[in-house]
Amino acid sequence: MVQQAPYLLGKYWDPVFAIVVGTLSYYSYERKVGRPEGHRLNDLIRKRLAGKEAQ
């Protein structure tokens, strides 16, 4: 039988940790590459949320 891998932080904290680390690494990538204005992650999230509020 296959043994389940142990959790790093816990059953529910592992996915939260992964999302936080992924988001921070993407911000680091954006800063290093220099994305054009209006195409950064914060700008895209603001546009998306503004569109949802308008509906």
Q: Domain limits of the chain? A: 12-54
Res. 51: pLDDT tops 60: yes
Q: Report pLDDT digits (tens) over 21-39.
A: 999 998 898 888 888 888 8
What was the pLDDT predicted at 16? 93
> How does residue 54 score in pLDDT terms, banded at 50, 70 and 90?
low
Contact of 19 with 8, CB cutoff 8 Å = no
pTM over 0.75: no
Count of CA atoms in the C-beta half-sphere (13 A) of 1: 2
